[in-house]
Amino acid sequence: MTIANTGPLAPVATHRRRPYGLLLVATPVLLVAWLVIWPIISAVIQTAFVTTADGGSAVSLETYSFFFSDGYSLSNLSMTLWTTGVCAALLLVVCLPIALYLRFSDSKVAAYVQGLAIFPMFVPSIILSFAFIRVLGPNGTVDLLLNSVGLPHIRSPYLTPWGPVIGLVWDNIPLTVLILLSGLGNVSNQSVEAARDVGAGKFALLWHIILPRISNSILVAISFAVLGIFSAFTLPYILGPAAPEMMGPFMQRTFRELLESKTAITQAVVTFGFCIVFGLFYVRSVAKNRAA
Amino acid sequence: MAATLVSRKTDWTGIIFAAVLTLVIVFPLVVVGTWAFTNVWRYPSVIPQEFGLRFWNQTLARADVWSSISTSLTLAFTVTALSAAICLPAAYAFARLDFPGRNLLFFSFLAGHAFPKFGLLVAIAGIFLQLNLIGTFWGVVLIQLVGTLLFMIWIPVAAFQAVDRRMEEAARDVGASPFRVFWSITLPQAGPTIAAAILLSFVGTFYETEGAWLIGAPQVRTLPVLMISFINNQPVIQYGAVLSVLLWVPSFIALLFARKVVNSGSFARGFGG
Amino acid sequence: MSVLKIKDVSKIFPNGTTAVDSFSLDVADGELVCLLGPSGSGKSTLLRMVGGFETPTSGLMTIDGEDITRVPPEKRPTGMVFQSHALWTHMNVFKNLAFGLKLRKVPADEIKRRVEGVLELVGLGGYGTRSVTQLSGGQQQRVALARSLVLEPKILLLDEPFASLDQHLRERLREEVRDIQQRLKITTLFVTHGQDEALSMADRIVVMRDGKTEQIDRPDVVYREPQTPFVAGFIGTMNLIEGVVANGVFSKAGYSTPVPVSDGPVTLAIRPEAVDLTAASQNAHGKVHRVTDYGTHGLVDLELLDGTRMKAMVPHPDLFKPGQGVTLALRAVAAYRDGAVIYRTGVVTPVSHPALVDA
């Protein structure tokens, strides 16, 4: 007896349709409602209304107009946008060749390369930050090596905008490679061989056969990276400059050090706004994938 | 997979990738490892002047290290246990029972992933502020618990769905009650995948830094939070290095066990790839 | 020593499809009854209702007079062998067999004795410690059978148990299963869509279509005297020719043969072995389209004058060439009208051959 899989979840025998299923899923669902959905709604409401003198409330975009007129906030935002853009571009430039190599190679070296590419997933970003400082920081290993061969010190990326960029790219390599690799799995060997048979060179192959097939995976990988990088905290907090700072450390400082929770939440809603397209696209892709 | 683009002779592309990745990914970690076993390493010597375990003794003698190890372990165990307790029954329900709104609720767990994470944490912190949960153990537990939900539901759902229904029916047929079937057949069959999910959730919680820092610090000091303060304020490099090595142990265990799950295509598909 | 009675059982799924439509069947003690039908005929649903995995919408099922209609599967004296084996891969062969006995709190030494006995019975003595994933498909099916037998069920249920095996193994296993069933005298209900399986194993065959019974009879009767055109077409190879009877004569495309029934349309059913072919250059009823030589006999595909295709079995296929004209004589025919048999000539002895039965 085969049942066509129509929905994202395979249908179950319907004579078991009793509400106690709801009971079993209630706790995690309520947790999501309380700690994901409600905070987002509440954040928007909280920042869009002000309490008036007579105790009522009125729509006011005061906190947002402050954010978008404050030079410091804006420079933080533009630095975040810059970092996210540069990271996304770098990730593609780094990961696409790795994924292509892994997809079309079966040598023993490939297994090693794959292992290395996935390895950062098992290195917590806090250890990465420490390693970054020890290697690229002032008097770090790179300086030692340069010094030993009589070359001048590097201009260390530590505490400059490039610090978080390097760290975030390093951190995001595994999932980007995995997502691209999974997309490349949809490109069959036959289609590649057929294209070569009709005379496609390597570049034509990449441009006309492979890239069109994996464009969705590329967008998913970018969306995932953007969502992670836009509000990254640990790496920019440790490796980045004190001012201007990325949105993550900025929100943290506003919330915990300046104790201006409303301002911090406004900043959070701004990050939501900038990422909404990527977020929706990402969720849609995951849901579609799951449904397939 | 046939080698269609890369020649079978000498895999130069691969060797170049391997060399560059080794330099970029392994080398920094080796440097940290070296620092952890170094007694003296003064500039500008390329290699340490003196190797030794002196700073292991000193690091492990620090009260703040021990208290944060115990905080981290308590947190990770509490969150993982709670998460398993509420998510596994839910996963079973999603996989095997029918109820109104099943698909919608199933996808609701994605909601947290449609937003930039730290922004969401700040929004949650806004709620916690009103509930006086900032700076408390349970505040950190809650925020980390939310982070584990998606994994702890989606992976086990896939695991339960992969169990052959006929296997369960065969057990009913030989006389097992529905609960006995779950205990003796379904759970052992889905076990390895669920164990991987639990391990990933434990490790993820252990290293969770942002929520702990935003909600818990400085009252609740986990290992990653302590590590941040070491990086920021500790002039003795070896403390951070030793702590890094210590901190990496759970990840290493996860690496050994979860490698197959991570390398399998289904894992990447879970991320939408 | 058990009797299964199924009375007016229906199953309507929540989506509105009627899988089984007031079905009744009595299975006698020690009898092996085959439920035979195309996919979607409701035979699997019926078996699953007997096993307790589906609840009938209406009707009654009893085993030895005891009502089991609403009894959950774990409390029923039935043992089911699944198509996919459904062995528990996290247990070895011994544990697979011992699980049900343990649930019944059978002492350990008796479990050991009974499990080893049954493994011996299915020809897997000494395989207890093997992991089930190391076994071949045939061995897995034997373990699945043993797992049911070890509990000594009153009714054995087999759901297309050989469907995943190759032809050769299937034939061997069905003989073994039939042997074991007869030795244990266990009442058995067997679902299959393979007529060869049904014909070779069953005491009685139930031919099902759209959740209803078309015919219940011994295998030879089902083959020789199909009660409906559906059974006629489903079992073995059968030529079904639509035509009209007028004045006791059936005519079709210039060919006519006496069929003493009232005037009107009929479907004529003729087995290939009941057709006598003669090469003829004049007054031919049709011409040869293709000749297949099976060694022991031949099968001629022929075309009547209006293009209607027929098959005829011939002892000497080399006498016929494609394009050649032939005349036919029918030794035995059955005529159907409105889904029921209205006329039948004498029965021809079937020349049973796999090539015909499997076609």
Phi, psi of C158 (to 5 degrees): -125, 120
Last residue within a domain, chosen from A45, A60, A75: A60
Q: Is residue B57 part of a domain?
A: no
Classify domain C231-357 at the CATH class level: mainly beta
pLDDT score for A9:
63
Domain spans in chain C, listed from the N-terminal domain onward: 4-224, 231-357
pLDDT score for A5:
36
Q: Which amino acid belongs to residue C331?
A: R
pLDDT score for A89:
94
B33 burial class (0-12, 13-18, 19+ CB within 10 angstroms)? Answer: middle
Q: Are residues A46 and A126 in the same domain?
A: no
Q: Is residue B7 part of a domain?
A: no
Instruction: Round the CA-based radius of gyration of chain A to a whole number and report it.
Output: 24
Phi, psi of C293 (to 5 degrees): -100, 115
CA distances from C4 to B74, C47, C154, C192 (A): 59, 12, 9, 19
- Domain C4-224: homologous superfamily in CATH: P-loop containing nucleotide triphosphate hydrolases (3.40.50.300)
Whether C14 sits inside 8 A of A14 (CB atoms) is: yes
Q: Are residues A133 and A253 in the same domain?
A: yes
Res C8 pLDDT > 80? yes
Percent with pLDDT over 90 in chain B: 20
Whether A14 sits inside 8 A of C44 (CB atoms) is: no
Q: Are residues A29 and A115 in the same domain?
A: no
* Sequence-separated (6 or more) residues with CB below 8 Å from residue A163: A132, A136, A157, A235, A236, A239, A240, A241
Which chains touch C (3+ CB pairs under 8 A)? A, B
Q: Are residues A50 and A102 in the same domain?
A: no
Q: What is the CATH number of the domain that holds A136?
A: 1.10.3720.10
Q: What range does the domain containing A284 cover?
A: 62-291
Closest CA to A38 of B131, C181, C133: B131
Among the partner residues B22, B28, B119, nearest to A268 by beta-carbon distance: B119
Res C50 pLDDT > 70? yes
Contact C96, C132 (CB under 8 A): yes
Q: Is residue B1 part of a domain?
A: no
Sign for the pseudo-dihedral over CA of C63, C87, A10, A23: positive
Between CA B155 and CA B201 the distance in angstroms is 11
* DSSP structural state of residue C74: G
Q: Are residues A111 and A12 in the same domain?
A: no
Q: Are residues B35 and B79 in the same domain?
A: no
Q: Are residues A245 and A116 in the same domain?
A: yes
pLDDT score for A4:
36
Between CA A268 and CA A261 the distance in angstroms is 10
Dig out the tokens for A245 from the structure. 């700072």
A209 burial class (0-12, 13-18, 19+ CB within 10 angstroms)? Answer: middle
pLDDT band for A207, please (50, 70, 90 cuts). Answer: confident
Section A70-97 average pLDDT: 93
C280/B121: higher pLDDT: B121
Among the partner residues B116, B122, B161, nearest to A265 by beta-carbon distance: B122
DSSP per residue, C328-339 = EEES--EEEETT
C160/C354: higher pLDDT: C160
Beta-carbon count within 10 A of A74 CB: 13
- Sheet of C286-293, strand order: C275-279, C325-330, C286-293, C298-304, C309-314
Minimal C-alpha gap between A8 and chain C (Å): 19
Q: Are residues A152 and A220 in the same domain?
A: yes
Q: Are residues A155 and A195 in the same domain?
A: yes
Q: Considering only CB atoms, which chain A residues are within 8 Å of B28?
A: 128, 131-132, 134-135
The full length of chain A comes to 292
Section B43-47 average pLDDT: 79
Section C79-88 average pLDDT: 86
pLDDT score for B261:
63
Sign for the pseudo-dihedral over CA of A174, A180, A183, A186: negative
Q: Are residues B194 and B100 in the same domain?
A: yes
Average per-residue pLDDT for chain C = 84
Q: Are residues A235 and A104 in the same domain?
A: yes
A273 touches chain B (CB under 8 A): no
- How distant is the alpha carbon of residue C340 from its chain centre? 20
Between CA B28 and CA C242 the distance in angstroms is 85
The helix-helix angle for B137-162 and B63-96 (nearest 10°) equals 40
Section C42-47 average pLDDT: 89
B46/B142: higher pLDDT: B142
Q: Is residue B154 part of a domain?
A: yes
Res B53 pLDDT > 80? yes
Q: Is residue B2 part of a domain?
A: no
- Tell me the range of A122-136, A278-292, C302-316, C317-331 where mean pLDDT is highest: A122-136
pLDDT score for C196:
84
Q: What is the CATH number of the domain that holds B81?
A: 1.10.3720.10
- The three-state (H, E, C) secondary structure of C238-267, written as one string: CEEEEEEEECCEEEECCEEEECCCCCEEEE
Minimal C-alpha gap between B91 and chain A (Å): 8
pLDDT band for A75, please (50, 70, 90 cuts). Answer: very high
Res C160 pLDDT > 90? no
pLDDT score for A96:
92
pLDDT score for C356:
41
Q: Is residue B4 part of a domain?
A: no
pLDDT score for A197:
82
Section C317-328 average pLDDT: 83
pLDDT score for C322:
85
Instruction: Round the CA-based radius of gyration of chain C to a whole number and report it.
Output: 24
Q: Are residues A81 and A50 in the same domain?
A: no
Between CA A93 and CA A91 the distance in angstroms is 5
pLDDT band for A165, please (50, 70, 90 cuts). Answer: very high
Section A211-228 average pLDDT: 89
Percent with pLDDT over 90 in chain A: 30
Residue of C nearest to B172 (CA): C74
Q: Is residue B256 part of a domain?
A: yes
B83/A256: higher pLDDT: B83
Number of domains in chain A: 2
Section A54-83 average pLDDT: 86
A100 touches chain B (CB under 8 A): yes
**Candidate from A206-220, B19-33, C345-359 with smallest mean pLDDT:** C345-359
Section A140-149 average pLDDT: 85
Q: Are residues A262 and A284 in the same domain?
A: yes
Last residue within a domain, chosen from A60, A88, A111: A60
pLDDT band for A12, please (50, 70, 90 cuts). Answer: low
Q: Which amino acid belongs to residue B191?
A: G
CA distances from C314 to C277, C311, C346 (A): 7, 10, 20
Q: Are residues B88 and B177 in the same domain?
A: yes
The helix-helix angle for A125-136 and B223-233 (nearest 10°) equals 20
Q: Which amino acid belongs to residue A230?
A: F
- How distant is the alpha carbon of residue A277 from its chain centre? 13
* Sequence-separated (6 or more) residues with CB below 8 Å from residue A232: A164, A168, A246, A248, B118
Annotate B91-113 with b (16+ C-beta within 10 A) or e (fewer): bbbbbbbbbeebeebbbbbbbbb
**pLDDT per residue as tens digits for the range A33-45:** 999 999 999 998 8
ipTM of this predicted structure: 0.86
* Sequence-separated (6 or more) residues with CB below 8 Å from residue C107: none
Number of domains in chain B: 2
Closest CA to C159 of C49, C64, C267, C233: C49
Q: Is residue B134 part of a domain?
A: yes
- Tell me the range of B21-30, B72-81, B173-182, B249-258 where mean pLDDT is highest: B72-81
Section B17-33 average pLDDT: 90
Between CA C279 and CA C277 the distance in angstroms is 7
Minimal C-alpha gap between B250 and chain C (Å): 28
pLDDT score for C228:
86
Q: Which amino acid belongs to residue A34?
A: W
Dig out the tokens for B216 from the structure. 């818990």
Between CA A276 and CA C29 the distance in angstroms is 70
Among the partner residues B3, B28, B90, nearest to A24 by beta-carbon distance: B90
Last residue within a domain, chosen from A15, A32, A60: A60
- How distant is the alpha carbon of residue C38 from its chain centre? 9
pLDDT score for A85:
94
pLDDT score for A31:
92
Contact A254, A63 (CB under 8 A): no
Q: Are residues B225 and B110 in the same domain?
A: yes
**pLDDT per residue as tens digits for the range B87-129:** 999 998 898 888 888 888 888 888 888 889 899 999 999 899 8
Which position has the token pair 């309520």? Answer: A30
pLDDT score for B8:
55
pLDDT score for A82:
94
Q: What range does the domain containing B210 cover?
A: 62-270
Contact B167, B235 (CB under 8 A): no
pLDDT band for C93, please (50, 70, 90 cuts). Answer: very high
Res B4 pLDDT > 60? no
Q: Are residues A248 and A110 in the same domain?
A: yes
Q: Are residues B109 and B228 in the same domain?
A: yes
pLDDT band for B231, please (50, 70, 90 cuts). Answer: confident
Q: Are residues B207 and B256 in the same domain?
A: yes
Q: Considering only CB atoms, which chain A residues are within 8 Å of C13?
A: 14
Which chains touch A (3+ CB pairs under 8 A)? B, C
Res A2 pLDDT > 50? no
C306 burial class (0-12, 13-18, 19+ CB within 10 angstroms)? Answer: exposed
Average per-residue pLDDT for chain A = 85
B69/C251: higher pLDDT: B69
Among the partner residues B18, B116, B207, nearest to A272 by beta-carbon distance: B116
Res A160 pLDDT > 50? yes
Res B82 pLDDT > 90? yes
Dig out the tokens for B139 from the structure. 């505040």
Closest CA to B170 of C78, C193, C1, C93: C78
